[in-house]
Amino acid sequence: MGEGKPFFITTPIYYVNDRPHIGHAYTTLACDVLARFKRLEGFNVRFLTGTDEHGQKVEKSARAAGLAPGDFTDQVSQNFRDLAKTMGFSNDDFIRTTERRHILACQALWNELVQRDQIYLGRYAGWYSVRDEAFWGEDELSMGPDGGRLAPTGAAVEWVEEPSYFFRLSRWQEPLLRLYEARPDFIAPDSRRNEVISFVRMGLSDLSVSRTTFTWGVPVPGDAGHVMYVWLDALANYLTALGYPETGGVFARHWPADLHMVGKDIVRFHAVYWPAFLLAAGLAPPRRVFAHGWWTNEGQKISKSVGNVIDPLALVERYGLDPVRYFLLREVPFGNDGDFSHRVLVNRMNGELANEFGNLAQRTLSLIERQCAGRVPEPGDFLPEDETLLTAAHGLLERVRPVLDRQAFHEALDILWSVVRGSNGYIDRQAPWALRKTNPARMATVLYVLAETLRHLGLLMLPFVPGSAGRLLDQLAIAPAARTFAAVGPAGALSAGTPLPKPHGIFPRFTV
């Protein structure tokens, strides 16, 4: 595993001002599927997630909870670790920005930027939104109903005037535009790419990168009155986790990141500020930033004040983990906004998972159990219809890979379902249950073709629904070592005569 081609994928690190909600689960789930897929391909994967624990917003929440910021962040960060466990996330690291390794990395990055004359001391006078932890230009603001100014995100802004260090962002406008031009895949989807390019084309001002009016942050080296701007601190986590400022070993192998997965609200930080910081520090920018859309809840914008926040733990409790994982990635073309609806989730769970996929597995495996003494049947010569289904199964990996390389999860599931549906058509047409008396050799061939197709579906479904796909592979007696994409195709085919365990359903129906 350690020898394969490197693949480094990251989630945003989540603010600990809040309990985990569906947005957090969604971003990390998308990364989890890609990380699992790449591991099955033999890549040397590093999958990073964590918590963003500094800044004014977190300090304010700690105060509201009556806790010292350190105690507060210890508590809330744990909720995110619990979420990762409940959702079956396979992250290799969980970073907290309050860790010593991170503070050292941030300070090293800062020193590098100072040394390269990318940071200077000045004075900030402008608008700041604590909720967004972002500086906004006067021209980006609108007037709120009560006369206060609002950021484009709808968050209130306040006027801030304080001494501040600035990053020479203005110098990076042209290099950034050249980067976007040279690497059309750097920002996805296209709508976000266009948005970023027009923002940068409008001109970039130097960016305030330190604050003096509160203390909950990484101290600026050599100037104890300042803490680093929380976004410089937060973005640096991607370097910390690879051992920066050490730039050999893991860092050399895994940097630049292959993919930073983010929500659409934080694309500017990842696709403008972050590559500028990196280029300015003499480091390579990431290979790709993908910004996904946002969920609404039964048609309504999700907000704490409306009280319609979706708790992923409650969903998993009610529907089970795999149906939730499946629904989130199947329902909405990745990159678009989507609407969460219990009715639609149940429809997909019962229709696609239980009826289409679950029944296919159940019908095949119970026929093998009853008619083939519970052993993989011995196939005879394949007929054209057998070859058609087997070829489709063998070809799944080649079709799914490029689609996942552009993070089109819904398309990948569509491709898998074309084979699920193809198999259901095949089993209905071949009617193996009727062949037992008339042509048992043909029945064995048909059941073999179905079992072999299920093996491929199980392998390819592992990244999406690891528990259920794993149980399907258990029922086909696939050894752990054969659960890799190297076993795709005839080379890994089931051997006739292998005893199979007693079948049981993999996707239960949801009944109220």
Residues at the interface with ligand ME8 (CB under 6 A): 12-15, 23-24, 26-27, 52, 234-235, 237, 262-263, 265-266, 294-295, 302
Closest distance to ligand ME8 from the beta carbon of 223 (Å): 23
Smaller CB distance to ligand ME8: residue 292 or 455? Answer: 292
**Least CB distance to ligand ME8 at residue 280 (A):** 17
Nearer to ligand ME8, 262 or 361 (CB): 262
Task: Please state the closest distance from residue 266 (CB atom) to ligand ME8, in A.
Answer: 5
Q: Which amino acid is at 335?
A: G
Between 294 and 510, name the residue whose CB sits nearer to ligand ME8. Answer: 294
Q: How far is the CB of 233 from ligand ME8 (least distance, A)?
A: 9
- Residue 120 has phi, psi (to 5 degrees) of -140, 160
- The CA–CA distances, whole Å, from 329 to 226, 325, 350, 408 equal 42, 7, 16, 9
CA distance 13 to 155: 20
DSSP annotation string for 283-344: -PPPS-EEEE--EEETTEE--TTTT----HHHHHHHH-HHHHHHHHHHSS-BTB-EEE-HHH
CA distance 301 to 299: 7
In the three-class reduction of DSSP (H, G, I as helix; E, B as strand; rest coil), residue 48 is classed as strand
CA distance 365 to 176: 56
What's the closest the beta carbon of residue 300 comes to ligand ME8, in angstroms? Answer: 11
Q: How far is the CB of 436 from ligand ME8 (least distance, A)?
A: 51
Neighbour count for residue 306 (Cβ, 10 Å)? 10
The two tokens of residue 84 are 């990762």
Least distance in angstroms from the C-beta of 53 to ligand ME8: 9
Measured from the Cβ of residue 14, the count of other Cβ atoms closer than 10 Å reads 24
Distance of CA 204 to the CA centre of its chain: 30
Alpha-carbon distance values, 149 to 82, 123, 335 (Å):
37, 22, 30
User: CB-wise, 28 or 118, nearer to ligand ME8?
Assistant: 28
CB neighbour class for 463 (10 Å; exposed up to 12, middle 13-18, buried from 19): buried
When the beta carbons of 266 and 354 are compared against ligand ME8, the nearer one is 266
Considering the complex, state which of residue 24 and residue 46 has its C-beta at the smaller distance from ligand ME8: 24
Residue nearer to ligand ME8 on the CB measure, 162 or 265: 265
Closest CB to ligand ME8 among 336 and 498? 336
**Distance spanning both ends of the chain, measured CA to CA:** 43
Burial class (CB in 10 A: 0-12, 13-18, 19+), 237: buried
Query: Which one, 295 or 507, has the nearer CB to ligand ME8?
Result: 295
**Cβ nearer to ligand ME8, comparing 52 with 206:** 52
When the beta carbons of 50 and 432 are compared against ligand ME8, the nearer one is: 50
Centroid of chain to Cα 242: 19
Residue 133: exposed, middle, or buried by beta-carbon count in 10 A (0-12, 13-18, 19+)? buried
User: Which single residue brings its beta carbon nearest to ligand ME8?
Assistant: 263
Instruction: Report, in Å, the least distance between residue 49 CB and ligand ME8.
Output: 10
Compute the least distance from the CB of residue 498 to ligand ME8, in Å. Answer: 44
Check: CB of residue 237 under 8 Å from CB of residue 103. Answer: no
Smallest separation (angstroms) from ligand ME8 to the CB of 254: 17
User: From the CB of 96, what's the least distance to ligand ME8, in Å?
Assistant: 12
